[in-house]
Amino acid sequence: MKTILIIDDNNWDRQALQHILEKAGYKVIALEAAVNVNQLISAEQVDLVITDMVMPGQDGLQTITEIRQLYADLPIIAISGAKTVQGHNKEQGYMAVSGRQILHHFPADYKDQLETLKLCGFLQKPCSAEKLISAVETLFSEEP
């Protein structure tokens, strides 16, 4: 059985993702924040991480960077409820925007960093159960 780690500060989103993935037959560990994430990945032998991008404290980009320091090849899917991550200007970098509200500022090289950090995918919240399961199953079917 594959183990999936979900990191999302939104309780409802985290529980919905967990329910969908458990119903599909996966073991799921759900965290509100990326505290001691590398120790947990090691202890639980995590096969996939799904992390929200916009979170208080340590955001998704910081979380992915931390994971990549020890787990270069661990599959990671980013997920966000921000309607878009759009360019703003070189000084402020990129913004996650929901409607007219700026949710989070990302560094100017945000998109380059995500590519460098080898993301396996990006899902927009809300995400249908079918789309989530399809992304996960496709990822696991591509493993050697």
The CATH number that applies at residue 21 is: 3.40.50.2300
9 found inside a domain: yes
Number of domains within the chain: 1
103 found inside a domain: no
**DSSP alpha helix (H) spans, the chain:** 11-23, 37-44, 60-70, 110-116, 129-141
89 found inside a domain: no
pLDDT tens digits, residue range 1-29? 999 999 999 999 999 999 999 999 999 99
Residues 6+ away with beta carbon under 8 Å from 54: 60, 80, 81, 82, 96, 103, 104
Model pTM score: 0.84
- Domain range spanning residue 26? 3-81+118-141
99 found inside a domain: no
pLDDT tens digits, residue range 70-109? 999 999 998 887 655 555 555 555 555 555 555 566 666 6
Distance CA 16, CA 11 (A): 9
- The order of strands in the sheet holding 27-31 is 27-31, 3-7, 48-52, 76-80, 121-124
Cβ contact 117:2 at 8 Å: no
